[in-house]
Amino acid sequence: MRLETERLIIREWTDSPADLARNYDIYRREEVTRWLGMPAPLSGPAQSQLVIDRRREYYAAEPGYGVWAVESRGTGVVAGSVLLKPLPEPADGPGRGEVEIGWHFHPDCWGHGYATEAAQAVLAYGWTLGLAEIHAIARPDNTPSLAVMRRIGMTRVGRTHRWYDMEAELYVTRKEGSA
């Protein structure tokens, strides 16, 4: 999968030295991982290879879905990740096949509109997969992510505890023309 926007390239993570180093630099930071429900930030560069290997396995197991690198066209540096994937079975019973969009960016790339730009591209891609709706969740105090959800046209549904063992704000968007 590869998408391009005016400023970004959205692509699969690779095991190149640059991707491994940047992945580690993003996910070693508590200011990033505290929003993700990770048990702890990455503690060493070797963990970055394991994370990227899992992503690559996911690309093969779930065609069309994944956690992708978001690269700046101007610098070639990976700014962060954007994802589109089925949400796990919810805590309150069987799910309806809900699909989630999300983003994780390096702090040196915050405030540039990259999350919004990448999310808009991935939403458009999601509609090409035949999805009728796409969900996003964030911790209630994650105001930057909540702002991205609003900027990309998502509608707040309310608070939920359905996924990832946490309280979250749930937003949803529907493809134009779907009920």
Provide the pLDDT for residue 12.
96
21 within a domain of the structure (yes/no): yes
Q: Give the domain extent around 20.
A: 2-174
163 within a domain of the structure (yes/no): yes
Strand order in the sheet with 155-160: 2-4, 8-11, 66-72, 78-86, 99-105, 133-138, 168-174, 155-160
pLDDT of 81 > 80? The answer is yes
70 within a domain of the structure (yes/no): yes
Instruction: Count structural domains, the chain.
Output: 1
**What CATH number does the domain containing 65 carry?**
3.40.630.30
pLDDT in tens, 123-162: 999 999 999 999 999 999 999 999 999 999 999 999 999 9
Q: pTM for the full model?
A: 0.93
179 within a domain of the structure (yes/no): no
CA distance linking residue 48 with residue 124, whole number of Å: 29
